[in-house]
Structure 1
Amino acid sequence: MARGIERPNHPRHEYVRAPAGRMATLTIRNLDESLKTSLRIQAARHGHSMEEEVRSILRQALTPASPAAGLGSRLVSHFRDAAGELPLPERNVPRPPLDWDAPE
């Protein structure tokens, strides 16, 4: 399969490739003014232009996340310093099983 952008509204549903080394341009229409304002404020907080902020958001949203460690690995890592030998209680002779038919 060709690497590119699928254009479902294109008459032939073909993939369109950007030439190697060139960056694509994206135009977003019908963006709510409040969303644009929020984006501008967030970009200013990060010291970016709005364009750079959008690139950063898209990069973060579309980059596959690295697999997180499983629960067991995280627990071992978290409690590694606290782990040690715990004293084991003495083992006693087990109790006899309950007799449910015996009178009280």
Structure 2
Amino acid sequence: MNEEASYELYLKKSAEHHEALCKRCGACCGLFEKDPCSELVCGEDGRYYCRIYEDRFGLRRTVHGNEFLCVPVRNVISGSWAGSYQCAYKRELTGWRVYPVK
């Protein structure tokens, strides 16, 4: 395997690992702030999903019509938000314990 192919494989595996961390609690999409993103939906499994995940970044609206800027979690991970204590990404970065969402 050449260096470029090896790097591409590394990026793919890193992205898969990162995506697998998410517990789909909905906290980063405003669920615990009582005015979540209008694109946030609850799946049949009780976990939360973005209806437009691949195109989510940019100006969006909450269910009450408020505008906000959807950004990658890495841009806000050092801060806190309602429910951020549950975020598996924060656990990976900081070593916090993440509690399961019921």
TM range (shorter): under 0.3
Higher helix share: 2
Q: Which has the higher strand share?
A: 2
TM-score between both structures, scaled by the size of structure 1: 0.21
Higher alpha-carbon Rg: 1
The answer to which structure, 1 or 2, has the higher relative contact order (CA under 8 A, 6+ apart) is 2
